[in-house]
Structures are given as structure tokens and as C-alpha cells.
Structure 1
């Protein structure tokens, strides 16, 4: 995960504060290291490969007895399981559609847990990033979606996703917040001063 210093995180918070001075929207940013640890994936692969051990031993006769064969299977299961727990390896085993599905689910949980659905006028905006999955999503409540369609956010999400791929997560956040602000200032202008939700960047391990 890209390490964001306290100074980096403060830059994100300051960017949100500036935008919220000109709009009724309540922005919350969340950065997740990964959407899931995918433990089940490593276990499934380890189990399947361990089951192949007897066949490989029969193909290359090693004359193992039943106890030695069982030990070989267990060692294979443990070794492969540990290997496939390495994030860089795991990410190559999990289909992109599954990774994005898990990330999308986490984004929606965060929208509810951060109480973005409880803002005055339904003006909550979540900017969510799952870094390992290289997944970016912007979720908005009804007060925003009634004025701005999904197509508004598509180009912003695409640009942010490319920044995450390049390892430029901080700059991606700052650019994304500024781009969102341009739309929000116009379509959801400030009517009265309020700050219902924290401006800080939420980091999930």
C-alpha cells in the first residue's frame, strides 16, 4: 500500500474543507489497503495442488508409504497455502471481476458505516479507493444523484484509477476532490454553513 504520511493525509482533509466551504455536499474519503484478504482462495488452491501430489508421485515413482505420502500432502498444502497468501501472488489468482465485486461491497458498507446516508438533504459523497484491487468508486446519496448523473463521475473515477495504478494515490485524491468540487459547487451550492462528517482521510488496514 502507498504510505501516506500525516502531512499527506492533512492535504486531503484540507482539500475537502475547501470544497465544503462552497457546497452543501459532505465529502468523505476512504482508502483501503485491500478489500479482502482472500484467505479462501489460497486454501482452495493449496487443497487442489495437495490432491495432485499422489498422482505426481506415481508418475515419478518415489516409493513412499502411506504415512510419507500423507506427510507430503500436508507439507504441500502448508507450503502452497503460505505462498499464495503473499498479496502479489494472491492478486494474480483472483479474477478481476471478483476483486472489484469485493471492493464494491466494501465501498457500500463504508457508505453506511460512515453515515453518509444520514446527512441533511442526502448530500453525502464517498470517494473510495481499494488500493490492492486498483479500484476507485464515487458513491453519492439521493440529494446529489438527483442533480448529477453517474456519467458525471465516470471520467473522474477513470483518471483516479490510473493514478492509483501509477502509485500516485495522494495526487489522485487531490485531483479527484477538486474535480468533484467543480461539479458540486455548480449543482449543489452552499446554502448554509455546516460540517456533519469528519474531513479526515479514513484509512482501512
Structure 2
């Protein structure tokens, strides 16, 4: 069975493995690592409208030509009647909907979702500004890693691209849980040198967020 929503993407056993990976990682460092899985980063209403217009236009023109002697008065009601069914069809057909969205827009929306989630979940309030968000956005099939300023001041930005590649490749191979746990461990390795664990450390953030 294909896992398509944030709530069902990982099994209960996989969720426990991820939380355990976060727990072990945070024992080694004062950083806070938060994996987050969301259904989508944005609704993309423009894609639904564009797709519905194109499909309704094609349906109306074809029907008008075949049955209405190319009459505009035959075309218009067909177009109007087809628009909303096609719009809902696109909304609930992710593969088709993705084809109507430019990759640049997808990347921008995932990045914005990561930034907003970083603030909403309070990752910017950690004691030493050492929060890391690993965002999996399922509809877009994108992974985004966002680290707070305390970390980025010491860890090169290109390193996060390696984390993204690890998780993305794991998802493509059907090993999302393994890849995410590996990415969490890798984050701990990067943080351990600059932000070692301290006796008064406490877990400030959730170990896994499903939204």
C-alpha cells in the first residue's frame, strides 16, 4: 500500500525508530533535530484552475466540433459544466497536478514552508540557536533542511545538501525511514564537534512532527 499522507507515511514502528534516532543524536550534542513530514507545502490553486480551463476547453471544443457544428453556443455550456469536475479531478490527482506546477514554484513553496514551520515550531527559540528542521513535503516530493544561525555560523551550507540527497535517495528507494535516521545521525556528527552535549541539556522540541 502506497503511503501518501503525513500521518501514514511512516508506520508506528518506523516512527519509534525515528524518535529513537533523534534521542540518541541529541545525547551527543546540545543541538535540537526535528524531522517534520507534511502532506504538502502549498495548495497550488493556480494549477487547479489552469488544468481545469485547459481540459474544459479541450472537451468543449471537441464536443462542439463533433456534435454541435462548431457552434459557440454549444461549446460554452459544455465548457462551464466540465470546469468544476475537472478542477476537483486535478485536485485529487497529485501526479497530474504536479505536471501543472513549475519546478521553481515548487522549490520556493517548500522553502517557504520550512521557514514558516521553523518559526511556528519554535526552533528559533532554542537556547544556543542550534535547531535543525528536516522537512519532508510529500506532494512536492522534496526534502529541505533548515538550520538556525548558531549552526550555520560554523557548518558550511553545502553540507545540508548532502543531508537532502541522503533522504531523497532513500525515499526513492523505498527506504525513507532508514534514510531519515541516517540523516539525523549525520546531523549529530556535524553538531557534536561545535555543540557538544551538556549536563543541563533538556529536550526543548518534539522528536517528530506529522502535519
TM value normalised by structure 1 = 0.88
CA RMSD after TM alignment: 2.2
What are the ranges of 5 or more consecutive residues in structure 2 without an aligned counterpart?
none
**Aligned positions of 1:31-70 closer than 5 A:** 31-51=37-57, 55-57=61-63, 59-60=65-66, 62-63=68-69, 68-70=74-76
Q: Does 1:75 align with 2:81?
A: yes
- Matched residues in 1 for 2:140 and 2:82: separation? 28
CA distance in 1, matches of 2:180, 2:203: 21
Is 1:142–2:149 an aligned residue pair? yes
If asked which structure has higher relative contact order (CA below 8 Å, sep 6+), I would say: 1
Unaligned runs of 5+ in 1: none
Tell me the equivalent position of 1:194: 201
Instruction: Please name the residue that 2:131 is paired with.
Output: 124
Instruction: Tell me if 1:28 matches 2:71.
Output: no
3-state SS of the aligned residue for 2:129? coil
Deviations 1:121-154 (A, max 9, x none): 1111111111221211211111111111102222
> Structure 1 residue 13: deviation in Å?
1.1
Cα 1:166–1:97, aligned 2, differ >3 Å: closer, same or farther?
farther
For these two proteins, the number of residue pairs brought into alignment is: 204
Structure 2 equivalent of residue 162 of structure 1: 169
Q: Give 1:183's aligned residue.
A: 190
TM-score under structure 2 normalisation?
0.85
Deviation digits for residues 34-88 of structure 1 (CA, Å, limit 9, x no counterpart): 2123233112221244345554455445248776543311222123213212112
- Deviating more after overlay: 121-130 vs 56-65: 56-65
Partner Cα separation in structure 2 for residue 63 and residue 154 of structure 1 = 57
User: What is aligned with 1:92?
Assistant: 99
